[in-house]
Amino acid sequence: MPISKNQILEFLKKSIYRPVKIKELAREMKISPAEYHSFRRQVKDLISEGHLIKLKKNRLGLPDKLSLKIGKLAATKGGFGFVIPDDGSGDIYIHSENMGTAMNGDKVKVRVLSRRNGKSPQGTIIEVLERAKSIIIGTLKKTKYFGFVEPDDPKITRDIYIPPESFNSAQVGQKVVVEIESWSDPHLSPEGKIIEVIGFPEEKGIDILTIIKEFQLPLDFPPAVIREVEKSDPAITPAEIKNRKDFRKLNCFTIDPINAKDHDDAVSIQKLKNGNWLLGVHIADVSFYVKENSALDKEALARGTSVYLVDRVIPMLPEKLSNEICSLKPEQERLTYSCLMELDENCQVVNYQIQESVIESKAKLTYEEVQAFFDSGKSTTQLRGLEEDLAKMLELSQKLLKKREAQGSLDFDLPEALVILDASGNILDINQAARLDSHRLIEEFMLLANKTVALHVTRLAMPFLYRVHAKPDPEKLKAFSELVSQLGYKTSLGEKVTPRLLQRFLKQVEDKPEEPLINELLLRSLKKAVYQPENIGHFGLAFSHYTHFTSPIRRYPDLIVHRLLKELKKGQYTPERYHFLMKRLPRIGEIASDREKIAEEAERATIKLKQVQYMQDKLGEVFEGVISGVVPYGFFVRLQKLMVEGLVRLSSIDDDYYIYDESGYRVVGKHTKKGYRLGDKVSVKVIRVDKEQHQLDFVLADNFKKRKK
C-alpha cells in the first residue's frame, strides 16, 4: 500500500531532528524503488500544501521546527494584517513593514519573530506561496509621467503601476481589470497590465459589472458547452419512461419565488389507508443531461453554483437546461429523481423510496399566493384542486418543524434585505424579506429529503458527498458568551456545547430588539457548513446525516449526489470507481465549498452597493438603528428597516471625550460616563455617502440637534 502524507509527517516529527533531502528521507523510511515515484509525489504535495518547507540545497523541514508557519493573510485597510495558520494555531500579527509583497487572501510563509505582551505573536512574511487573486479591479489614474490603477479593494493598499504600452486603450477614470505581471521588491509598487476595460463608473450597469469582475464570475459559457447543450433533446422517449417510476398522474406542483424560472423541486402528498403520510419530493434529473467529464460537466463544476445577484442570476447551467429542459414547468413531462417518504403520526420516516421518475407538474405556485391561501382560506384559479393537498402539507410541515426544534436544530431567522429595482436597474425601495409559512413548508420537506438520502447512502458504506457542519470552536463560543454577557444575557457555553444548549439561549433573546444582532453574532461564531466525503454530521441542524439532493439545477454537489445514487442502485460501485471517488470527491467538495463562499460574498456586495446608492438622496434624513459594531474610532449603526450600515465617528460626538472599551464592546465618555454599547438603539442622521467605497457616515441625531442650537 502506498505511503500516506500523514505517515511522512509523523515520521519527520518523531524520527528525524534535522532537515533532510528527499532521497535521504526515502532511505530512512525504507521506501522501495517501486514506491519511490508515489512517495516523491506525496512529498511535493506536502510542500505545496505548506506542511513541509523546502530549504537551501533542497532540504526538507517541518515549519514548526523552523519557527515558520504557512497560512492565509487577512489584510486590513490600515496596511497591517494577520496570518491565519493552516495548522489551526493562533493568528500571527504582521506589521505593515513586514508584509513584503503579499496581498489580502494570499497563501504565505511567515517567520514568527516574537510574542507581544498578552497579544498574538508577531511575524514577517518571507514568501508568497500562492496568490489569492491573479487580477485586480480598480480605477485608472495618471500623473505627468506614468499611469497607475487604484484598487477598489481597500485592503490592497498599494497602487498598481501601469506602463504606457500596457494601457490597452483604457481612459483615465475608467474601471479596469489589471493583471499583475511582477512584484519582487516590497519597496516598489507592483507592475501590471490592463487586460480589460469595464467602463466609466457612472455608465449604466457598470456598478454591478465591476463586482462581477471583482469576484471573477463567468458571464458567458464556452462555445464547447453551448454546442453540447444545443444537442440536448427535450423530448422524453417511451423507452426512457418505461425505465422510470411514472408519477405523471400524481398531484405534484412547484412553489417558488414569483420571478423564478429554474424550478428544480416539486412536492406531492397523500394520506395512506394506515393513517400515515406519503410525502413526495421530486427533483429535476439534471444528471440525465449533464454527463460526467463532458464540457458541460466541467463548466458546472468550475462554477459550482448559480449566483443570485441583486439584478440578475448567473446560472451554473445554460438557460436552455436550467430554465427550460430541466425546469419542472407545469403541464410538461419532466425527468426527475423522486424521494418518497412514508411518515407516521410522530413524523418518523418508516419507509422510503429513492428512484428515477417522470412527473408532470400540475401548477406553478408562488410563496405569496400559497401564503395568502393559508392566511385567508380563500382559493384562486391557480390553486384550484390543490387546496386539500396544501392544507395537508401545512399541517405536516409544522409538525416536522416542531420535531426538528425539539431535537435541538438551530433556526437563525435573520432578516434579509429585499432590494426592489426597476427595469433599468435603478433602486426603488428596500424592504425586509418576509419569512412565510409557505417558505418553511418547502424548507422542511427539502431538509427531510436531504436527510433521508444521506441516511440511505450511509447504510451502504460507500463514498459519497455530504453536507457537514463541524462542532464550534470552544474559544469562539467563549468570546461570544463574554460578548452577550455585556448585553445582559447569561449563558454557559463550555467545552461540550450542543445545538440544544444554543437553542435554549436563542429562546432567551426571541422577540427582543437585539435578537437579529445576537443571532448574527452567534452565526459568525459557528463554523461554516461545507461539502466533504467524510460524514461528521451537521451541528446546526442537529442531524447525524445530511447531504444536498434537492437543487441540482443550481448546485453542483446535488448533481453529483444524483449521479452517485444512480450508480448505487445495485448497492455498490465497481472497485475502480470506488478508488476513483475516494480520490476525487474531496476535491469536488473543496471546489463546491469555495464557490459557494464566493457566490455569497458577491451577492452581499451587490446588495450593499444598491443599499448605498439608495441612501444618496437621503442626506440629512434621520433613521432609527442599532449599534452593530464598536471600533476604536467609533461605532457602526445598522438601520432597522433598510439594513444598511454606516459609521458614527467618535470625533463627531462633541459632548465629551469618548474612550474605546474593548472588553465592554462600547465607548464611554471620559467625564460624563455616558456610553454607547453594542446592541443599543440610536437615532442617526446621514451626513455622507461614498459611492466609490460603498460607505456611509452618520452622526447621532441628538448630538446634531445640540450643535444646531
Question: What b/e string do you get for 620-647 counting C-beta neighbours within 10 Å, with b at 16 or more?
Answer: eeebebbbbebeeebbbbbbeebbbbbb
Q: Are 526 and 472 in contact (CB under 8 A)?
A: yes
Look up residue 650 and give its DSSP letter.
Answer: G
The amino acid at 139: T
Nearest-Å Rg of the Cα atoms of the chain is 28
CA-CA distance, 547 to 528, in Å (whole number)?
15
Give the domain 67-130 fold. Answer: OB fold (Dihydrolipoamide Acetyltransferase, E2P) (2.40.50)
**Which pLDDT score is estimated for 709?**
41
Q: Are 73 and 127 in contact (CB under 8 A)?
A: no
**Which pLDDT score is estimated for 707?**
45
Secondary structure (H, E, C), 685-707: EEEEEECCCCEEEEEEHHHHHHH
For residue 184, the tally of other CB atoms under 10 A from its CB is: 8
**Which pLDDT score is estimated for 687?**
96
Cell of 208: 454591478
Region of 643 (left: φ > 0; alpha: ψ -120 to 50; beta: rest) is left
- The model's pLDDT over 315-365, given as tens digits with 9 standing for 90+, comes to 999 999 999 999 999 999 999 999 999 999 999 999 999 999 999 999 999
Mean pLDDT to the nearest integer, 392-400: 97
Residue 41 confidence (pLDDT) above 70: yes
**608 closest CA partner among 434, 416, 435, 424:** 416
441 pLDDT band, cuts 50/70/90, is very high
CA-CA distance, 499 to 408, in Å (whole number)?
5
Sign for the pseudo-dihedral over CA of 426, 432, 438, 440: positive
Q: What are phi and psi of 370, to 5 degrees?
A: -65, -40
List of residues 6+ apart from 136 with CB closer than 8 A:
149, 151, 153, 156, 160, 177, 178, 180, 192
**477 closest CA partner among 497, 452, 503:** 497
Residue 704 confidence (pLDDT) above 60: no
Strands 59-61 and 81-85: unpaired
**Which pLDDT score is estimated for 493?**
72
| Angle separating helix axes 437-460 and 367-376, nearest 10 degrees | 120
Q: Are 418 and 429 in contact (CB under 8 A)?
A: no
Q: How far is CA 608 from CA 116, 598, 699, in A?
A: 36, 15, 20
- CATH 3.40.630.30 matches 619-708: no
Q: How far is CA 601 from CA 89, 213, 485, 494, 594, in A?
A: 26, 13, 30, 31, 11
Q: Where in the chain is the domain with CATH 1.10.10?
A: 5-63
Residue 616 confidence (pLDDT) above 60: yes
CA-CA distance, 667 to 689, in Å (whole number)?
24
Q: Are 215 and 197 in contact (CB under 8 A)?
A: no
Cell of 606: 451587490
Mean model confidence pLDDT for the chain: 91
- The model's pLDDT over 182-222, given as tens digits with 9 standing for 90+, comes to 998 888 999 999 999 999 998 989 999 999 999 999 999 99
Secondary structure (H, E, C), 250-309: CCCEEEECCCCCCCCEEEEEEECCCCCEEEEEEEECHHHCCCCCCHHHHHHHHHCECEEC
CA-CA distance, 509 to 491, in Å (whole number)?
11
Exposed/middle/buried for residue 55 (C-beta within 10 Å: 0-12, 13-18, 19+): middle
- The model's pLDDT over 55-110, given as tens digits with 9 standing for 90+, comes to 777 788 787 767 788 899 999 888 899 999 887 778 899 999 999 999 999 999 88
**Which pLDDT score is estimated for 512?**
82
Q: Where in the chain is the domain with CATH 2.40.50.140?
A: 67-130, 619-708
- The model's pLDDT over 661-701, given as tens digits with 9 standing for 90+, comes to 988 889 999 999 999 999 899 999 999 999 888 899 999 99
Interior angle at CA 284, CA 282 and CA 286, nearest 5: 145
* Window from 89-98, 142-151, 226-235, 481-490 with minimum mean pLDDT: 481-490
CA-CA distance, 19 to 53, in Å (whole number)?
9
Residue 612 confidence (pLDDT) above 80: yes
Q: What are phi and psi of 224, to 5 degrees?
A: -65, -35
Residue with cell 497579544: 119
Residue 115 confidence (pLDDT) above 60: yes
Q: Where are the beta strands (DSSP E) in 536-657?
A: 622-631, 634-639, 645-649
Q: Where in the chain is the domain with CATH 2.40.50.700?
A: 135-203
* CATH code reported for the domain at 5-63: 1.10.10
Has this prediction a pTM greater than 0.85? yes
Pairwise pLDDT comparison (66 vs 271), residue with the higher score? 271
Mean pLDDT to the nearest integer, 622-631: 93
**Which pLDDT score is estimated for 486?**
82
Cell of 504: 435554549
**266 closest CA partner among 371, 339, 200, 198:** 339
- The CATH architecture assigned to 135-203 reads Beta Barrel (2.40)
Helices (H), 345-436: 367-376, 387-406
Q: How far is CA 663 from CA 90, 560, 590, 627, 667, in A?
A: 19, 47, 36, 16, 10
